[in-house]
Structure 1
Amino acid sequence: MRRPSPIAALMCGAAFAFPTAVLAQDAAAPVVLDSITLQSKRDVATDTATPVTAIDQREIDDRQAGTIAELIDSVPGVTLMNGNTPGGSGINIRGFGATGTYGTDQMVLIQVDGATQGSEELYRIGTQLYTDPALYKEVEVQRGTVGSFEYGSGVVGGLVRLRTKDASDFTGRRIGWAGRQTFEFTTNGDGITSSSILAWQPTEDLEFLAQYVRRKQDAQDDGAGDPIGAEPFDLPSVLVKGKYSFGAARDHSVTLSWNDTKMAERDVPYDQFAVSDSTFGRVDRDIDTRTAILEYEYDPDNPLIHVTANLSHADQQIDSSYIPGSSSMEGTPAWPMFAGSVLGLANADHRYKTTKLTVKNTAAFRTGGFSHDLRAGFEVVRKTRAEASSAPGGTDRRWAVFAVDDITAGGLTVSPALRYESQDLTRDGGANTASNPQTDFDNEAVMGGLSLRYAFGDGFAVFGSAAYTENLPILDDFNNAPYMKQPQKARTWELGASYDGRDLLGGGDRLALKANLFQTDVWDVTSYSGIGEVEMKGLEVETAYSMASGLYVDLNATWTEGDARATAGASEYWDYAPADRLRLTLGQHVTDELDLSWEAVAAARMDRVNAPTEEAAGHTIHNLRATYRPQTGVLEGAELRVGIENVFDKDYRPWLATRKAPGRNIKLTLAKSF
């Protein structure tokens, strides 16, 4: 069993000691609970038919996540394949996304400030979302297809959008300097993170931000005290961002940002999903993720014009070198037969670059008794992928036009959406094979959807939507000629209701509730070998309740069921359907400065599987969090957080994960804004 280290004992004591000390620092002064204005940690989007969840800066800080995957794991419909390390983790939304073979199936879209990230089908390598959660101030997760057409095509599982921090978040748009220093320590894996932010606003029109994050973590143990198989990592990240506003009314602005995350791994398994070296052996791996973004915005005092032009360039390089003698096959009689494929994978150097220009205008106007919020624009994308020993290279050129209109009359909102996309694929290095000499492929698709929402006057609303999208062929499939002419198709139906009310059980309380039924059908499947059709259906619930006294309750739950039909015609359960899950948070804002919360996460036994395994068993884990933010005095601007994850050190393996979850982990965060 794992023995608690001195830092673990110290941090565990701090988890219980510092709330008492805070309350005792002014024992003579009574705590006036009815003055508390804070509410639940997360808002429920009851004002839209889109199943969307936003995680703001306050919740990002409170969750103390080590990866982006860990941060969005709290969203209903989201399941992680591992998730506690930047490599070997994957994101599954509504049964689509990461698999045990690839980090993505192209049906979950991830964007950072508009730039597309983590989208390659690299064998036994994760989602490739190598970045740090400390760089971001908001993460938005849209589930399903509706709401995705202004961002891309082929979104079946969902869309993850991340927004980096701005200098004005710290300067408050006042001339001068501002900054923030954060240190975080974790006991399981002896993790340490430092985040340094410096913001400068020389004039009202000009702002600059620089941020450096260094996150280190050793190997973690499971609840039984055994290594979980996730490799240690050292992840430095840099963000540089500037914004200039100009014009007589300051209605023009230009924003330029650049972020870079590097990771060097030495003598690690090639297979990021596995817990052993296995057949593929061990490698030295170097990863560099660079993203540059130039955005222009024009927002005059004219409701018909609000133009944004976003030019992004995402460049990721993953270089691997095989360590001789590390494969279990090497030296056996079978090695000559497997050597080519093993060495081809382990020595592959991957590099892919995506340059994208998106121009969009938002216009608000009326036609008769209808109000319109019309978002229309075009997109041009050029994606290049270098030829690797284990993956084909080439160029994917696309252009698209889209329009989404929210039409409102009284309590009724009708939102039609349309996207047309054209594609040209070119293979590098000549013909694919002697039997398949074609090197160029052209495809096009028309996609769209319609959502309707009706809001009654008493806080209730009902909504429904239908959406159709297509996954156009990808560079990974150049060696499979039929797939290059066969877009993957999907249709999603949604039906739900929401409620948002105040002063229900007492003055100042609020209840927000949203429930959403969905069914997704995918056919002409190209993402999975031997599968012709997939059907997913389920129910998602989000609830937030808060009282004027500071008590709050957050609850979200997901129930899903998936079926697949093989190309041979046989039906079976869908292997990547997530387990039913419920997450409950009970918290108390003791004062405006002190927040205490308990969270329980329960996953049901996964009995809808083709071959039950260890991870099919259900589990319940508990997490505790305490946050103290002094509002006055010498400690104003400081923040202290203590979190205890997996409080009872439960030994379990989550459904869809390829390794066990970490055991008890105590996290201590110290931050100061200046």
Structure 2
Amino acid sequence: MVLRRSRSVLLACTAFMVLGMGTASLAQTAKQDSSTDVASQKDDAATTLKKIVVKGDKPSKDVLADTPLASETTAKTIDDKQINSIEDLGRSTEVGVGFNRTDGSTNIRGLDDDRVLTTIDGIQIPFLLDGARDADGGTNSFDFNTLSTVDIVRGADSSRGGSGMLGGAVVLRTLEPGDLIKPGATWGGVFKLDYDGDDRSIGASAAVAKRIENTAVLFQGGYRKGHETENNGDVGGYSTTRTEPNPADYDQKNMLFKIRQYTDSGSTFGLTAEHFAKDIDTDLKTLESVRGNFRPGNYDGSNDTKRDRVSLDYKFEATDDDALFDSANAVFYWQHLLRENGSSGYRYTSVIGDYWRRNEIEDRGFGFSGDVSKSFDTGSLHHKVTAGLAVSFDKTHQYSAGEDSCDVRFTYSCNFLHTNQSDMPDVDGKRVGSFVDDKITLGSSAFSLTPGIRFDWYDYSPQSTDAYTRSANYSSMPAGQSDSRFSPKLRAAFQPQDDVEIYAQWAMAFRAPNVTELYENYGVPGGYVSYGNPDLKPETSNGIEIGTNLGDKDFGGHIGVFYNRYKNFIDSVNYADPTGTYPLGITEYFNRASVRIYGIEANIHKTFDNGIHINGAFAYSNGKDTETGEFISSDVPAKAAFGIGYATETWGTDLAFITATSEPKRSGDKLSTPGYGIVDLTAWAAPEQVKGMTLRAGVYNVFDKTYYNATNTNGTLTQPYSYYSEPGRTFKVSLTQTF
């Protein structure tokens, strides 16, 4: 529990940071920058406009991704490699990144769920864990066509990211007007139309930006319509023998709006509104049978994700050396994330009659996130100090609605049917985090040290609701939880020249238990139960990494080795109830005493003068419970990708070979995936006759190989193995037109 004096310190820090950022803004507004380049431009109507060149027009890298442990994927690469999902990103571009389609979580360095942080424009997208009813995920609630960059930050380092950054972070930045408006122009845009054979989907998106004097606006919208993700199964029909995927249809919509007000003092003020929605309807043929409870055509599933946010943005970049800060960023935001799943049908044998369920979990919150930086000298030492503050308030709500013909609440035949209730209380969450680090360069040497520390405090307060107190397993309200953590780090770097950096970093990290792990209470006497554990301790990590970044965009690479130890690693266990109250067993969350993960990551690329380019990447991690010797369930096999291509100014082609090792034998029903090797072939053309147009096409898994992705086979398997296989040979085609 946090002491009273800690809360006082937090309030004082909050006041100091807000006051400091406000002072910077006022100070710079009062100064007119004589060095700002003001040029006359003529628009289409021959109106003379003032063009103000401001650094904030194209935002600098997110503070979370300002580390040698990060790699960047730009919008151009997203288009060139036809990336429509996190799975596409991890296929050959970021081989150490995976995505679990079952629970909707990203995997980095063998960790997933909310052990990987996801942010968009500095705002965290929470991972929602439903626990009992499978409405999990939500961190993939964005469209890649809205993005300007994706940074993958690897490693357990909470010093800037806070709770949850144990495996790493996915740092997303959406398009800014400056990404579309070319130098010397007052407007710009992009239109894209594409087909993706993985799910036979067709997508269209368009973005346009316009600048009038020192004001710019941007609007982006997209729509995609598709079906189930293909696999290499070839057995149709129903029930447990089916290996083809269940038929599905989905609709995905997104909208992004931004307005930016630039000033000649280095400040940029903005408003952003964003909406994302994806609705999936599935014919659950694997759960139907001719003589079963659900008959063919009478059992359907739904799976929906929605996210909305509105934010006020502020960015400052100093235009002279006398500024209080060199840079500052701030965002005030409101965000709502909803995950729903459900099913509906007609029962023929057990509790005969109509049946439907609609399960939901949502997070609704608002908050502030900001950072400032300043460079200065003390004697022979050069300092770059960066400090930040994050404050958030949110409410998590879970509920199951439904109707069926079960008119007796808790008999054995109805023990799986309880609904119209919440499996945990609503939980009010409060979080405060602040950090400071200082990159210290020793005189004119190439050596630097960056010490840093972050303080985080969180508080969960369960709220009683009628939906929770009427649940079948309710006994009393659980206690709240409040705790705090310091997360220090120290990074040493040696940079003998601009394109060579050798670094070593020690860092600590932590993850607060999520509300489902603490408060879930799903079950019924006479059946089974899944319990949260209000006494869970936060996970902590202590790790080191040594690596190097070499070269530039024409020739370079990266190699890094890491070792992390985790204490109080949160997991779940199933055991028999000694009292007999729950004859089908008890599942409960607990803390593993010690887990370790080590591994290596490497990549290299080279572009030759004759237009040929080659690249390669490799990622390996190994995670075990050090006391039991068990592999952690999210651990994945080693993976590598090798590519060769040729490009001119008007066309190019690439050939990629992607391979993964076999997965160690696991206990239970989990598929231990075999190793594989697949080949992708892509090509593009930018005809000179149509300025701004690019055509792209690709054949993926050229040889129609049956293979398995370990991140999608993590759990109990009920179908034949080929049901869980990845898509066979598929095609992608896209047309992009920029203006």
- Matched residue SS, 1:656: helix
Post-superposition Cα deviations, 1:531-556, rounded to whole Å, max 9, x if no partner, equal 44321111111111121222211111
Tell whether the 8 Å contact from 2:128 to 2:136 is kept in structure 1 after alignment. no
Quote the Cα distance in structure 1 between the aligned partners of 2:97 and 2:115: 13
Quote the Cα distance in structure 2 between the aligned partners of 1:225 and 1:413: 58
Change (3 A) 1:399 1:188: closer
Q: Partner of 1:400 in structure 2? A: 433
Q: Partner of 1:353 in structure 2? A: 364
Q: Partner of 2:734 in structure 1? A: 669
Offset of 1:289 from its aligned partner?
1.2
Name the amino acid aligned to 2:117: L
Give the 5 Å matches for 1:635-654: 635-654=690-709
Tell whether the 8 Å contact from 2:424 to 2:519 is kept in structure 1 after alignment. no
Name the amino acid aligned to 1:299: E
Quote the Cα distance in structure 1 between the aligned partners of 2:504 and 2:95: 18
Name the amino acid aligned to 1:570: T
Offset of 1:434 from its aligned partner?
7.4
Quote the Cα distance in structure 1 between the aligned partners of 2:248 and 2:104: 12
Tell whether the 8 Å contact from 1:179 to 1:199 is kept in structure 2 after alignment. yes
Quote the Cα distance in structure 1 between the aligned partners of 2:502 and 2:320: 32
Give the 5 Å matches for 1:557-636: 557-565=618-626, 570-589=628-647, 591-607=648-664, 609-610=666-667, 614-630=671-687, 632=688, 634-636=689-691
- Tell whether 2:308 aligns with 1:290: yes
Tell whether the 8 Å contact from 1:115 to 1:293 is kept in structure 2 after alignment. no
Give the 5 Å matches for 1:254-269: 254-267=269-282
Q: Partner of 1:75 in structure 2? A: 94
Offset of 1:527 from its aligned partner?
4.2
Offset of 1:636 from its aligned partner?
1.0
Change (3 A) 1:275 1:78: farther
Please provide the CA RMSD for this pair: 3.0
Post-superposition Cα deviations, 1:457-499, rounded to whole Å, max 9, x if no partner, equal 5965432111112212322212567545611111121122343
Q: Which of the pair has more CA radius of gyration?
A: 2
Q: Partner of 1:366 in structure 2? A: 377
Choose from 204, 219, 234 the match for 1:210. 219
Give the 5 Å matches for 1:529-548: 529=573, 531-548=592-609
Quote the Cα distance in structure 2 between the aligned partners of 1:285 and 1:155: 27
Choose from 190, 194, 199 the match for 1:184. 194
Q: Partner of 1:223 in structure 2? A: 232
Change (3 A) 1:229 1:629: same
Q: Partner of 1:379 in structure 2? A: 390
Offset of 1:578 from its aligned partner?
1.1
- Matched residue SS, 1:145: coil
Post-superposition Cα deviations, 1:266-322, rounded to whole Å, max 9, x if no partner, equal 3555xxxx9757999744444321122211122232455122111122211234454
Give the 5 Å matches for 1:510-521: 510-521=554-565
Offset of 1:423 from its aligned partner?
1.6
Q: Partner of 2:12 in structure 1? A: none
Tell whether the 8 Å contact from 1:580 to 1:603 is kept in structure 2 after alignment. yes
Name the amino acid aligned to 1:465: Q
Choose from 518, 523, 548 the match for 1:497. 548
Name the amino acid aligned to 1:90: S
- Tell whether 2:519 aligns with 1:478: yes
Offset of 1:599 from its aligned partner?
0.7
Tell whether the 8 Å contact from 2:130 to 2:398 is kept in structure 1 after alignment. no
Offset of 1:93 from its aligned partner?
0.7
Offset of 1:66 from its aligned partner?
2.3
- Tell whether 2:368 aligns with 1:313: no
- Matched residue SS, 2:79: helix
Offset of 1:510 from its aligned partner?
4.6
Change (3 A) 1:320 1:127: closer
Tell whether the 8 Å contact from 1:498 to 1:515 is kept in structure 2 after alignment. yes
Q: Partner of 1:425 in structure 2? A: 460
Offset of 1:456 from its aligned partner?
3.2
Deviates more, 1:110-119 or 1:303-312: 303-312
Q: Partner of 1:167 in structure 2? A: 177
Structure 1: any 5+ residue segments left out of the alignment? Answer: 1-46, 98-103, 502-508
Tell whether the 8 Å contact from 1:313 to 1:355 is kept in structure 2 after alignment. yes
Quote the Cα distance in structure 2 between the aligned partners of 1:117 and 1:193: 24
- Tell whether 2:715 aligns with 1:660: no
Name the amino acid aligned to 1:202: I
Offset of 1:398 from its aligned partner?
1.1
Tell whether the 8 Å contact from 2:136 to 2:339 is kept in structure 1 after alignment. no
- Matched residue SS, 2:159: coil
Offset of 1:233 from its aligned partner?
1.7
Tell whether the 8 Å contact from 1:115 to 1:313 is kept in structure 2 after alignment. no
Q: TM-score, normalised by structure 1?
A: 0.80
Quote the Cα distance in structure 1 between the aligned partners of 2:274 and 2:142: 9
Q: Partner of 2:53 in structure 1? A: none
Deviates more, 1:442-451 or 1:525-534: 525-534
Name the amino acid aligned to 1:77: G
Quote the Cα distance in structure 1 between the aligned partners of 2:670 and 2:532: 36
Structure 2: any 5+ residue segments left out of the alignment? Answer: 1-64, 236-243, 400-421, 521-530, 574-589, 714-723
Tell whether the 8 Å contact from 2:128 to 2:362 is kept in structure 1 after alignment. no
Change (3 A) 1:230 1:444: farther
Tell whether the 8 Å contact from 1:267 to 1:323 is kept in structure 2 after alignment. no
Quote the Cα distance in structure 1 between the aligned partners of 2:277 and 2:66: 38
Change (3 A) 1:188 1:299: closer
Tell whether the 8 Å contact from 2:190 to 2:206 is kept in structure 1 after alignment. yes
Q: Partner of 2:111 in structure 1? A: 96
Tell whether the 8 Å contact from 2:229 to 2:727 is kept in structure 1 after alignment. yes
Quote the Cα distance in structure 2 between the aligned partners of 1:244 and 1:597: 41
State the structure with bigger RCO (CA 8 A, min sep 6), 1 or 2.
1
Offset of 1:624 from its aligned partner?
1.1
- Tell whether 2:124 aligns with 1:119: no
- Matched residue SS, 1:149: helix
Quote the Cα distance in structure 2 between the aligned partners of 1:369 and 1:583: 45
Name the amino acid aligned to 1:212: G
Quote the Cα distance in structure 2 between the aligned partners of 1:174 and 1:311: 32
- Matched residue SS, 2:161: coil
The alignment of Structure 1 onto Structure 2 pairs a total of residues equal to 586
Tell whether the 8 Å contact from 2:446 to 2:494 is kept in structure 1 after alignment. yes
Choose from 33, 58, 65 the match for 2:83. 65
Name the amino acid aligned to 1:58: K
Name the amino acid aligned to 2:266: D
Quote the Cα distance in structure 2 between the aligned partners of 1:462 and 1:320: 47
- Matched residue SS, 2:630: strand
Post-superposition Cα deviations, 1:430-452, rounded to whole Å, max 9, x if no partner, equal 69887764543221111121111
- Matched residue SS, 2:364: strand
Name the amino acid aligned to 1:218: H
Name the amino acid aligned to 1:471: R
Deviates more, 1:405-414 or 1:662-671: 405-414
